[in-house]
């Protein structure tokens, strides 16, 4: 079984370092001339999938925008996941799950067991109940070639008070998460399968990402104010592992599929330039 780290490395080599989110905000549905209902959601998700599924390395549906329509929204999420995978992009479901270990095991089987209807390539997870409580996700992911992206330094301003608080040994909470994930990925080639989420908005915080050896998902670009040029400041020597992520910045170009593709291409060009070593 090929690991998620290896699959992601290949996808980024072939398609470029870019993740595009599917975040059907009510405001975006309106801008696209769609109603804020199940039909609008379906049209939106289908349009993004058809425009970008065969060219972007990773697509990240935001589960909340599907969940808010109940079972019909979940049906659309299931078919979106299926279509994206058929088109060849890796699917990272942004669900930010986390709980006590026995419940995390159920979340793991929901998203990382290939027999599940919402099986995806990777999920986002919250370490607030302890990184160790996420072990069932890491284990099932490893068994089936899946990945997990653990929140470390999020892009929103409210995150800092918790994530940059100091623990008894003087490290920040975020650094303890970073260090635990680094241990999980130690020795993995070409890249570990447990990633971190580090916002592109956070500036130079002095956190040490050098030993992570896993992918670093960087949301916060575009609508939240960060630019590709900020990636160098935030990630420093860890830049080669960065997977930049845009949602509203690209989605706002729709519904014309050509305009969506052009927006994704622009984002990729900016990110390639920012991530290029020696730039
Ligand atoms: O720290 C984080 C973690 C996750 N997100 C998610 O990424 C997208 C960002 O959307 P934009 O439209 O590009 O702002 C959204 O789904 C968030 O829930 C994040 O922003 N920051």
Q: Does the pLDDT at position 51 exceed 60?
A: yes
CATH placement of domain 4-275: 3.20.20.70
223 CA distance to ligand 1 middle (Å): 9
**Rounded to whole angstroms, how far apart are CA atoms 152 and 180?**
11
Q: What is the ipTM of this complex?
A: 0.99
Could you tell me if the CB of 83 is within 6 A of ligand 1?
no
179 CA distance to ligand 1 middle (Å): 23
For 33-59, what is the mean pLDDT?
98
Place of tokens 């992520």: 245
221 CA distance to ligand 1 middle (Å): 9
Q: Are 151 and 126 in contact, with CB atoms under 8 Å apart?
A: yes
Could you tell me if the CB of 248 is within 6 A of ligand 1?
yes
Q: Does the pLDDT at position 278 exceed 60?
A: no
* 121 closest CA partner among 150, 85, 91: 91
Catalytic residues, which ones? 96
Q: Which of 18, 19, 23 to mutate to test the pocket of ligand 1 (most atoms within 8 A of CB)?
A: 23
Can you tell me whether residue 5 is helix, strand or coil?
helix
For 194-210, write each residue's pLDDT tens digit. 999 999 999 999 999 99
For 70-85, write each residue's pLDDT tens digit. 999 999 999 999 999 9
For 22-50, what is the mean pLDDT?
98
| DSSP-derived secondary structure for 17-62 | S-EEEE---HHHHHHTT--SSHHHHHHHHHHHHHHHTTT-SEEEEB
Largest CA distance in the chain: 54
**Rounded to whole angstroms, how far apart are CA atoms 279 and 276?**
6
Place of tokens 């995150």: 159
Domain-wise residue ranges, the chain: 4-275
| DSSP-derived secondary structure for 249-263 | HHHTT-SSHHHHHHH
Could you tell me if the CB of 154 is within 6 A of ligand 1?
yes
């Amino acid at each position: 079984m090929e690991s998620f780290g290896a699959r992601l490395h290949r996808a980024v080599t072939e398609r470029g370092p870019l993740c595009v989110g599917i975040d059907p905000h009510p405001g975006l549905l309106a801008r696209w001339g769609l109603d804020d209902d199940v039909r609008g959601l379906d049209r939106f998700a289908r349009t993004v999938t058809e425009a970008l599924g065969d060219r972007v390395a990773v697509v990240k549906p935001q589960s909340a925008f599907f969940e808010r329509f109940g079972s019909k929204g979940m049906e659309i999420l299931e078919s979106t996941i299926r279509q994206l995978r058929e088109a060849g992009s890796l699917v990272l479901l942004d669900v930010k799950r986390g709980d006590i270990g026995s419940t995390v095991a159920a979340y793991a089987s929901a998203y990382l067991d290939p027999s599940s209807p919402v099986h995806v390539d990777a999920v986002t997870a919250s370490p607030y109940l302890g990184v160790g409580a996420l072990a069932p996700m890491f284990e099932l992911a490893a068994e089936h070639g899946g990945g997990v992206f653990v929140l470390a330094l999020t892009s929103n301003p409210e995150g800092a008070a918790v994530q940059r608080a100091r623990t008894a040994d003087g490290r920040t909470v975020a650094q303890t998460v970073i260090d635990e994930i680094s241990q999980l990925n130690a020795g993995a080639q070409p890249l570990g399968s447990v990633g971190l989420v580090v916002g592109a908005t956070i500036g130079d915080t002095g956190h040490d990402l050098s030993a992570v050896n896993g992918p670093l998902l960087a949301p916060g670009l575009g609508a939240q104010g960060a630019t590709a040029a900020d990636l160098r400041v935030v990630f420093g020597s860890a830049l080669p592992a960065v997977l930049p992520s845009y949602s509203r910045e690209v989605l706002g170009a729709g519904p014309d599929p050509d305009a969506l593709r052009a927006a994704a291409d622009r984002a990729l060009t900016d990110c390639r330039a920012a991530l290029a070593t020696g730039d």
